[in-house]
Structure 1
Amino acid sequence: MRATGSDDRRRGVGERAGTGGGRGTGRSSSAPPPSSRGGGRGPNPIPLIKACRDLGELEALVEAEAGAWSRKGDSAAMATALNLAAKFDQRREDEAAARGRIFSTLVAAYLPLVEGVSKAADCTISLHACAKAGYWGGGLAAALLQRLSGHGGLLLGTADEQALSNLWWSLSEALKSAEGRHVLSSIDLPRLLEASAKCLLAITHISTRPCSNILLATARLQHPNAALTHHLTARLASPGNQANCQDLANALYALGELAEDVGHTPRPGDLQGLARAVVHQLSQGVTPFKPQELTNMLLGCARLGYTDARLLSPLVAAAARATPRMEPQHLANSLYSLALLQPSASAHGGAAEALAGECKRRRFKDFAPHILGAGEGRQGSLLGAAKAAAEKGATEEAKASGLERRVASALQRLAERLGPGTLVSVQRGCVVPGLGRAADVVVELAGGRRVVVEVDGPWHFLANRPRNPDAIVGRTELRNRQLGRVFGAGNVLSVPFWEWDFKGASEQHEAVLSRLLATS
């Protein structure tokens, strides 16, 4: 998902000619490096840098040559060395320490040259290396950004799409650490972004990978430049561009983030073009999308409010098939997305059930509290989204039957007759916060006590035990337990249909309700 430097080509891994002394072919990482200043290798040190096979070799070369590169003003050599140092693995503690020493040496040698850098790519490759390694100290990253933004962003005029992609990605990575954010605070970030956006808008044909990487960066930076976002989205949605799965997933996810964070609305034609490209990829037999990419696209659609079944049906089906390969975060995000897209789980062809079933099968192993949405009020949590969706569905589905309306009207008349000293208020079709369902009627009695009155027709009772108020079906029993947890034991009352249908006069109806409330 990360951008790569414009100098990012596969380095050679073949053996070099031996140097004698019984070492055979190749050179050990502890051997002193050949000099880039002689030995018949020519004046260009970049091939020698790329030939380093690990951090040990690179550190030895940098220690020996960084001073010479600085004196010669060879910023390209130092950018290449920084880029390579960032790419090498640092799994062991000594490797991490070696990378730190390499960066410290190169930063000290590079800083005096920054003002004289004549190519934006040399700045952005080095900046990308700092961002990838999480190295924001020493002043180099800030100096490079100052150089790029100086004179109205004049140096950016030499940047190609890859250099600009590296810049945006690096700026978005800086947000992840306090040191990186401090670097961003030291520059005029909006001015730099606008200058870079102007350069991007002047590029007619941008490759799909830079487009998707820059879209992701605009979302992370919450940069509201509609012209740039439209430009990048249009390029990705273009039929001839043939964006791959990662680029499409990144684009939909980024557009969803921009919609939620800065209110950006994609042009309908661009969004439909992206959707068609995704559907085309999904139609290629076994889905080529990774589980995280499927999840990110669902999140993007949910945040965009994009519910076109031509995209959602195959996308949701692919996510359901991918559940066994999903990580806990993917499962939670997918369920979260379905909750936002539509409250009815049945509308998603069993995907919600498949995702929930996979969570249950794993017994929520490795699900961190933040994934589950610890704290019910947590904005954006899975639990919060599910409850919000359920409450929305309850509001839409709370259509009172004729019997419910008649009972509620009788309660209202009773309240008017008894006055607020006995019956304070009557609320119809009340959605219960945190429960995701509506109560038929909620009555507030004097003293602040609140009572639920449920109007139960024939379908609430077992057919083989007529007119038995205790013979309720399972879903009604579940409803009563849920409402009882909210309103308290004894505060969920039932008006069975047989207690009402054969009472003709309104006075008789009110008498039934008075007895019910008095005995509760």
Structure 2
Amino acid sequence: NLSTTVWAFATAGVSQPELFRKIGYHIAGLDSLDSFKPQDFSNIVWAYATARESHPELFNKIGDHVARLGSLGSFNPQELSITVWAYATARVFHSRLFEKLTTEAVAKKDHFESQHIANFLWACATVGHTDERLFAAFAPLVGSKLDECSEQELANISWAYSVANAPNLDLFNVGHVSALASNEKEFSAEGLAQLHQWQLWQQELESGIELPQSLQAKCRNAFMSQCFSESKLQNDVVGELRAAGLDLEEEVLLGSGYRIDALVKVGDGRKVAVEVDGPSHFIDRRPAGRAILKHRQVATLDRIEVVSVPYWEWDVPVRTVGPAQEPKHGRGLALPAVLFLSPVRAHLLHPVEHAWFRVGTAELFASLLTFSRSSDSSLEYVHAVVGVPVAVGPLPNVAGVDVRPLST
């Protein structure tokens, strides 16, 4: 039995990447998965997630099959929660599968144990699937099972609701705070960091609900002590921002406890947080729960606009000016961020792989108000960034500047 085989190796902690690869491709290549039972599916995806063996084809095959089933009546709560947990842990988002599993989980919620609840909610929040039905339906059940929850389950549930931004006065009350406080000495560093974000969420809501001061202090310290490191991508983006003449600070610690990659001071007195979001901040190029929560809380609590530079936008090659006209990675691909930093807006078009597409309405940083370059030299900089000449046309009726490619 293939599911038993991979489950056994994953449980034993024995690394067998070639075996997992072959079994994965075998299952993915089958014409039908009708012979597999719900336990088989949950065991297989759990094994791959636990063994950290990536196999998108396998996960897509199983996801497509389960999503097409007319009914998930044969799936029990454990199988539902394990399956969704495995997809989140493996960093695979299958929208139709998550919708199907969520609908079934809501229907069977009264049969869920505390571990099933925590795993299901954590998984959905992790991939950014914050279905209002799910979080609303499980709130009363969570409230009735607080004394059954472990400290990890309490932290995961609190964090998941924070990501979903799903306030529930019947759940997050004195009883919930009491359950957290009674486990103060049991929480891991990760759990304490999650609870700091939950406490920040209560500040967002202005709920007045607070953890005991001793626990608040532990949570904040754990959150601020999380490891961080500068990546080459971050250094490249910051370098481009500096090259554009922007006034910025790197690795800034905010009042909320969040640390941001760069804080840019804009000419009109605003401050903008530039976050260089690498692969760990996304799941299938969708913002992961951790990124959603950070961006929202920095904007709400620290009152700083957040601009994200996704890693794949930076990695797209663009043309440079000069005799060689060779593609170059990075130069100017902070555009989704830096174009936001000036008070004057513009429409910008630029070529990628010989196709034109509209980046959208963004704030032009080039010759306008942000730094001391003449209009001509600033347009030359944009020319270098975009790869084609640009010109500033007449001011339109709306506040902004019309920037368009010149004919070549």
1:310 matched to which residue of 2? Answer: 170
1:358-377 equivalences in 2 (<5 Å): 358=218, 371=226, 376=251
**CA positional deviation for 1:232:** 2.0
1:342 matched to 2:194? The reply is no
Which one has a larger percent helix, Structure 1 or Structure 2? 1
Distance (whole Å) between structure 2 residues aligned to residue 172 and residue 232 of structure 1: 18
Q: Does 1:280 align with 2:149?
A: no
Separation in 2, partners of 1:390, 1:141: 41
Q: 1:299 Cα shift?
A: 1.1
- 1:169 paired with 2:46, answer yes
2:81 to 212, 234, 240: 212
Provide the residue aligned with 2:102 in structure 1.
233
Aligned positions of 1:484-499 closer than 5 A: none
Match in the other structure for 1:137: 16
Residues 1:296 and 2:156 aligned together: yes
Tell me how large the CA RMSD over aligned residues is: 3.7
Q: Compared with structure 1, are the counterparts of its residues 343 and 374 closer, same or farther at alpha carbon in structure 2 (3 Å cutoff)?
A: farther
User: Shift of the alpha carbon at 1:143?
Assistant: 2.4
User: Is the contact between residue 216 and residue 251 of structure 1 (CA under 8 Å) also seen in structure 2?
Assistant: yes
Q: Within 5 Å, which residues of 2 pair with 1:36-435?
A: 122-137=1-16, 139-152=18-31, 154=32, 156-174=33-51, 176=52, 180-181=53-54, 184=55, 188-189=57-58, 191-198=60-67, 202-238=71-107, 241-259=110-128, 264-266=129-131, 268-282=132-146, 287-313=147-173, 314-343=175-204, 347-351=207-211, 353-358=213-218, 371=226, 376=251, 383-384=258-259, 389=297, 392-393=300-301, 395=303
Identity of aligned residues (%): 18
Q: Shift in Å at residue 245 of structure 1?
A: 0.5
Q: What is the CA-CA distance between 1:165 and the residue it aligns to? A: 0.4
The structure whose Rg is larger is 1
Structure 1 CA distance for aligned equivalents of residues 253 and 48 of structure 2: 28
Structure 1: give runs of 5+ residues left out of the alignment: 1-121, 397-447, 449-520
What's the offset of the Cα at 1:172?
1.9
- How far 1:168 moved relative to its partner? 1.4
SS at match of 2:28: helix
- Residue 290 of structure 1 aligns with an amino acid whose one-letter code is S
CA distance in 2, matches of 1:203, 1:395: 44
Per-residue CA shift, 1:319-338, capped at 9, x if unaligned?
23321221222112210232
**Distance apart, 1:354 and its partner CA:** 4.0
Change in Cα spacing, 1:255 to 1:201, as seen in structure 2 (3 Å) is: farther
Is the alpha carbon distance of 1:242 and 1:223 closer, same or farther for their aligned partners in structure 2, counting shifts above 3 Å? Answer: same
Structure 1 Cα separation of the partners of residues 199 and 223 of structure 2:
20
Shift, 1:247, TM fit: 0.5
- How many positions carry a matched residue from both structures? 252
Counterparts of 1:271 and 1:230, CA distance in 2: 13
Cα-to-partner distance string for 1:108-159 (whole Å, 9 max, x where unaligned): xxxxxxxxxxxxxx1011011222334343732222223222233x2x3122
Quick one: structure 1 residues 326 and 161, their matched pair in 2 at CA, closer, same or farther if it must change by over 3 Å? same
Distance 1:217 1:144 in 2: 17
Relative to total residues, which structure has the larger strand share, 1 or 2?
2
The corresponding residue for 1:81 is none
**1:445-464 paired onto structure 2 within 5 Å:** none
CA distance in 1, matches of 2:169, 2:67: 36
Greater relative contact order (Cα 8 A, min sep 6): structure 1 or 2? 2
In structure 2, the residue matched to 1:437 is: none
Instruction: Find the residue that maps to 2:42 and give its secondary structure.
Output: helix
SS in 1 for 2:34: helix
1:462 corresponds in structure 2 to: none
Contact 1:253 1:300 in 2 (8 A): yes
Given residue 270 of structure 1, which amino acid in structure 2 is its aligned partner? L
Deviation for aligned residue 1:377:
5.6
> How big is the shift at 1:198?
4.1
